[in-house]
Structure 1
Amino acid sequence: MREPRYVVIAGDLMRKIAAGRWPVGELLPTEPELAAEYGVSRETLRRALQRLDVAGLISRHPGTGTRVERSAPVAEFTAQLGSVEDLTQYGESAVRGILSVEPVTVDAALATVTDLAEGSRQVCVTSTRRDPGRAGEVVSWARVYLGPGDAKAVAGDLEGSPQLIADLIEARTGRAVERVVQRVRAVGVPAEAAAHLGVEPGSPGLEFVRRYYDASGALFEVAVSTHAGDRFVYETVLQRK
């Protein structure tokens, strides 16, 4: 899948900064100049600069310009998700490792978190995601809940594929994602997740619950992932229509 244009531009700017094209303390060219250089709109250029800003490479000052603050990104994993396509891109950039696959019966507590029917039978896939750009550091720990039929269909694909499990299900069964409902909340990192994330149990974290619905409106996958709060940045872009 081709990367969005703003991601490509951000990567090019990062490489140029690392190579010393603009030393620390120097101002980047203006937004109109950079937009013209890359042949994109100023909105696309701004989205690229947002990635550099979150990475700690630049700071933007109205009336002054955009200044280079460092030549290498800070040690954070950034996810910028605004669409199902962005979610797929994130899946391909963070490598999945399977820890366990086991049947579960949804109890009252799990039903509250996931919206799955209490008493229903599911298959729980416990996994981690690693950032290949940071020596394979674990950036998330997750439990994904699937119906037994879908779990059986993708069982042979889970370990070796970078694709989202929802995309694997579509490839194997034809059931496509129509809508993803996401909830984010601050949590204390559970002990099991902490062991893989390399943080203390109960330390600050972010929990993402993503519920995947198909074209008929049926909920067919729920992913509950936990990230260490001091190493993960979640970014969204709000645009006036």
Structure 2
Amino acid sequence: MGEPRYVVIAGDLMKKIAAGKWPVGELLPTEPELAAEYGVSRETLRRALKRLELGGLISRHPGTGTRVERLEPVAAFTAQLGSVEELTQYGEAAVRSVLSVESVTVDAALAEVTGLAEGSRQVCVTSVRRDPDRSDEVVSWARVYLGPEDAKAVAGDLEEGRQLIADLVEARTGRAVERVVQQVRAVSVSAEAAAHLGLEPGSPGLEFVRRYYDASGALFEVTVSTHAGDRFVYETVLQRR
């Protein structure tokens, strides 16, 4: 599998900046112009620009544009999230199958795990993700908590999908992910999760809790996913930029 499109675009833009196509202090073409040049969506283009921004090559100013700040990236180690798909490690390759959708009231225990307000009403989407090449192998078991309005907006898009639910919410409501906070811990796999993962209840597993925040800082989605401890490796790459 090749590199994601936004990574390729970022690399090309870095080469052009290093070659002096846009001198320090000059503005890059607008996002619509660059997106059209590369034949991608503005969201993909923004992900590419974010990589340049993290490297200190550019600065982005609403209403003014994207300005070149330096010709070579800053030398630093960064652990960065280029996309939510990278965060999950299996991204859009694994196929989602929805097991149930139900309305729940957040109790004290669930509030502690998710960070959702105790007593709030949420819609819980329980699902599994399957290996696209081996449909009998479940990659993960998860519960996704959404507000009722967001859940209603994406209800028709959930079944047998590959796209992340956070991306579905953005497509249907315009609410985009600005920040994701992830926690990982070792757990004993619950009986319900074990039944789908093909494990004995109590087997060692990894639990990921991901909290999705929009541009206003509002928490609008929480995903709690479980993976078999002996079949899943989570890798973080620190790259000198």
Please, what TM-score do these two structures have when normalized by structure 1?
0.65
Aligned partner of 1:154 in structure 2 is: 154
Q: 2:40 corresponds to which residue?
A: none
1:145-198: per-residue Cα shift (whole Å, max 9, x none)? 000000000000001321000000000000000000000000000000000000
CA distance in 2, matches of 1:180, 1:143: 16
| Partner SS, residue 112 of structure 1 | helix
Is it true that 1:83 corresponds to 2:88 in the alignment? no
1:167 aligns with 2:167: yes
Q: Which runs of 5+ in 1 are unaligned?
A: 9-80
Cα offset, 1:136, TM superposition:
3.7
Aligned partner of residue 92 in structure 1, secondary structure? coil
Matches within 5 A, 1:190-229: 190-229=190-229
- 2:176 aligns with 176
How far residue 233 of structure 1 moved from its aligned partner, in angstroms, is: 1.0
User: How far apart in 2 are the matches of 1:148 and 1:166?
Assistant: 14
- How far 1:90 sits from its partner (Å)? 2.9
Q: What code does the residue aligned with 1:176 have?
A: A
3-state SS of paired residue (2:90): helix
Displacement, 1:135?
4.2
**In the TM superposition, what is the alpha-carbon distance from 1:130 to its structure 2 partner?**
0.4
Maintained 8 Å contact 2:97/2:161: no
Give the Cα separation in 1 of the matches to 2:101 and 2:155.
9
User: 2: CA distance between counterparts of 1:82 and 1:234?
Assistant: 14
Structure 1 residue 239, shift from structure 2 partner: 2.3
Helix, strand or coil for the counterpart of 1:200? coil
Q: Per the alignment, in what secondary structure is the counterpart of residue 111 of structure 2? A: helix
Instruction: Give the distance between the partners of 1:128 and 1:214, measured in 2 at CA.
Output: 25
- Name the aligned partner's letter for residue 198 of structure 1: G
Quickly say closer, same or farther: Cα 1:139–1:117, change in 2 above 3 A.
Answer: same
CA distance in 2, matches of 1:174, 1:132: 29
Q: How many residues align?
A: 167
Counterparts of 1:112 and 1:201, CA distance in 2: 23
CA distance in 2, matches of 1:102, 1:127: 12
Give the conservation status (yes or no) of the 8 Å contact 1:84–1:180.
no
For the residues of structure 2 that align with 1:160 and 1:199, how far apart are their CA atoms? 23
> Do the aligned residues in 2 keep the contact of 1:138 with 1:196 (CA within 8 Å)?
yes
Q: Which moved more, 1:127-136 or 1:190-199?
A: 127-136
Q: Which amino acid aligns with 1:129?
A: R
Counterpart in the other structure of 2:107? 107
Deviating beyond 6 angstroms after TM superposition, the runs of 4 or more aligned structure 1 residues are none
Contact persistence 1:88–1:163 (CA under 8 A): no
Shift of 1:134: 3.1
Amino acid at match of 1:130: R
Deviation of 1:89 (Å): 7.4
- Residue 91 of structure 2: SS of its match in structure 1? helix
Q: Could you say if the C-alpha distance between residues 187 and 89 of structure 1 is closer, same or farther in structure 2, counting changes exceeding 3 Å?
A: closer
Residues 128 and 140 of structure 2 are in contact (CA less than 8 Å); yes or no, is this contact kept in structure 1? yes
Aligned partner of 1:46 in structure 2 is: none
Contact 2:89 2:234 in 1 (8 A): no
CA gap of 1:103–1:233, structure 2 versus 1, over 3 A, is same
Gaps of 5+ in 2: 9-79
Q: Residue deviations 1:113-146, cap 9 Å, x none?
A: 0000000000000000001123441010000000
Aligned-partner SS, 1:155: helix
